[in-house]
Amino acid sequence: MRVIVPIVKVADIEEGELLRLMQANFDSTLDARYSVANGVVWSAFIHLL
């Protein structure tokens, strides 16, 4: 199962919040991942059924 959703425009998020999301990719998220594409922060929830 894969769900990909836009979260917020990069211009509308504080730098510290964006940094924390990127750190979460490495050490604290299990099935969710965050990325930046086309000026938008995206979340991808990926889980094997």
- The confidence score (pLDDT) of residue 4 equals 94
CA distance 47 to 38: 25
Q: Between residues 47 and 15, which one has the greater pLDDT?
A: 15
User: What pLDDT is recorded for position 41?
Assistant: 94
Query: Tokens representing 27?
Result: 């050490």
* Residue 9 pLDDT: 96
Q: Where are the domains of the chain?
A: 2-46
Smallest Cα–Cα separation from 13: which of 42, 47, 48, 33? Answer: 42
What pLDDT score was predicted for residue 46?
82
Tell me what pLDDT residue 14 has. 94
| Structural contact between residues 12 and 44, judged by C-beta atoms closer than 8 angstroms | no
Question: Strand, helix or coil at 1?
Answer: coil
Return the CA Rg of the chain.
11
* Segment 10-44, tens digit of pLDDT: 999 999 999 998 888 887 767 788 899 999 999 99
The span from the CA of 28 to the CA of 19, in Å, is 13
